[in-house]
Structure 1
Amino acid sequence: MSSHRAPVAAAHGSTDDAGAVTAVALGGRALTVLTGVGLVLGAGVGGVLEPLVVWADAVLVPLPWLRDLLLGAPAAPEVGVVAVLGGAAGVWCWERWRQDVGVVEVSTDGIGVARHGHERFVPRAAVEHVHADGDDLVVLGCGGRQLLRCPADALLRRTGAALRAAGYPWSDDGDPYAGEWRRWVQGRPGTPHGADALLVRRRTALGDEDPATADALASELGTLGVAVRDRRDRQEVRRTG
């Protein structure tokens, strides 16, 4: 059974003093790339901003105040301002990405994940199978129970390497229960008592962009013998033994 434990330092591929914990997180390289792309795109937009606004003023929506402001200002500051805004947008994208993938910690004691303020820990003794399902990291226990599922995205390769190095049963063959998933339909016979209510709440949490609540509800579903995943804005489920 999964439990909760506060993760250690969320460093980029770092280890603790004893070398027993590897923490995998989105690092500074991604921040540099996204910021640089934002700056370049911003500068490009800034370079064509004046003709773009003039065109929009004539063809789409009249914007005389914006047209006059831009035409009366030096071109270089305009490009610089828009470039800085583009760089800021890149930093914002990196921060959202960092929060979405969170931090995965691998140790000889177990696997810990901290994401959107929700922390989970799966003891090593409970882990029977680890694999990637799309961009998700999936940890299974006895009877195929889904102990942990989280979007790892750019962290998958390094997380898989850390798990293999720590001796976890990582499989390159993917989900051994791939054929058992089916789209969740409320009221379908065979659904454990209480699962539909949790899935309704989870659907609402996903719609509200509340991943912490969605993750917590997925953990509750696990105690009822139901594994859940998201595909094309729909929840899919399977029974676990």
Structure 2
Amino acid sequence: MTTVQETAVVRYGIWVLCPVLGAAAVWGLKLAAGWITTLRWFPFQGVFELVTDVPEPWATVAALAIGAVGGGLLALLWAAEMMTVEVSHERVTLRKDDKTFDFGRNEVESAFAEGKQLVLLSPTGAELARETSDLSKAKLEQAFTGQGYRWRAADPFADEFRMWVEHAPELPADVNALFTARRKAMSKYEHEEAAELAREIRKRGVCVKDLKKRQYYR
């Protein structure tokens, strides 16, 4: 079995790096608070004025704590986007954000990368999965071809995608409803919700991908 995942430095380093950078950033803003209050055009003047009124060392302690917590939240979001891909002769398993997507050998006809997305195709051409990650395309290709799977240079069905519009007549009502909900999630930058809705759409036999903030389907 071949496993493709982020390096240990990335997987574990974010829990140190993000809080440290967050603390440093907020501490820097705290140091600049006095100067910022002289710039009347700068937004959130009330916040910076409040910061200048907090006595030391509490202002520094609070700045470091708030920054570290913010950095920790960023690390959580980053970790949720990381994906592990396990490829063996018998199956392909994707692990992401406490979710596992498992496909038997006979289910996977081929795989390819489109941008940052790994796409698995079934023998009928349906998309089994389309998941985003920062994994190396070269390493993914080596993992699949090394286990005997077909790796495609590009999407063989790219020309069949069409832009989704409200109440698309070719789609069932429930699928259109999912597209509408997904559009709302995308507009609110609820990426995980949008990804989950895309999975629900695929379960209904419709492929979906995004181009320039628009949804496309086939």
Which residue of structure 1 lines up, in the alignment, with residue 123 of structure 2? Answer: 142
- Structure 2: how far apart are the matches of 1:68 and 1:90? 25
Pick the aligned partner of 1:195 from 175, 179, 199. Answer: 175
Pick the aligned partner of 1:158 from 119, 136, 139. Answer: 139
3-state SS, counterpart of residue 143 of structure 1 = coil
Which residue of structure 2 lines up, in the alignment, with residue 217 of structure 1? Answer: 200
Q: TM-score, with normalisation over the residues of structure 1?
A: 0.69
The Cα of 1:137 is off from its aligned counterpart by: 0.2
Q: Identify if the C-alpha distance between structure 1 residues 115 and 45 changes in structure 2 by more than 3 Å, giving closer, same or farther.
A: closer
Aligned length: 209
- Structure 2: how far apart are the matches of 1:33 and 1:118? 20
- Counterpart of 1:68, as a letter, is D
- Structure 2: how far apart are the matches of 1:87 and 1:123? 42
Q: Identify if the C-alpha distance between structure 1 residues 39 and 117 changes in structure 2 by more than 3 Å, giving closer, same or farther.
A: closer
Percent sequence identity over matched residues? 26
Q: TM-score, with normalisation over the residues of structure 2?
A: 0.75
Whether the 8 Å contact between 1:38 and 1:89 is mirrored in structure 2 is yes
- Counterpart of 1:66, as a letter, is V
The Cα of 1:175 is off from its aligned counterpart by: 1.2
3-state SS, counterpart of residue 135 of structure 2 = helix
Query: What root-mean-square deviation, in Å, do the aligned CA atoms of Structure 1 and Structure 2 show?
Result: 3.3
Which residue of structure 1 lines up, in the alignment, with residue 108 of structure 2? Answer: 127
The Cα of 1:92 is off from its aligned counterpart by: 2.8
3-state SS, counterpart of residue 197 of structure 1 = helix
Whether the 8 Å contact between 1:34 and 1:93 is mirrored in structure 2 is no
The Cα of 1:111 is off from its aligned counterpart by: 1.3
- Counterpart of 1:220, as a letter, is K
Whether the 8 Å contact between 2:14 and 2:75 is mirrored in structure 1 is no
Structure 1 segments unaligned to the other structure (5+ residues): 1-19
Structure 2 segments unaligned to the other structure (5+ residues): none
Pick the aligned partner of 2:210 from 202, 224, 230. Answer: 230
Alignment of 1:29-108 (within 5 A): 29-30=9-10, 31-32=12-13, 35-36=16-17, 39-40=20-21, 42-43=23-24, 46-47=27-28, 49-50=30-31, 52-60=32-40, 61=45, 64-69=49-54, 72-73=55-56, 78=60, 82=63, 85-108=66-89
- Counterpart of 1:121, as a letter, is D
The Cα of 1:94 is off from its aligned counterpart by: 2.9
Whether the 8 Å contact between 1:104 and 1:114 is mirrored in structure 2 is yes
- Structure 1: how far apart are the matches of 2:187 and 2:62? 35
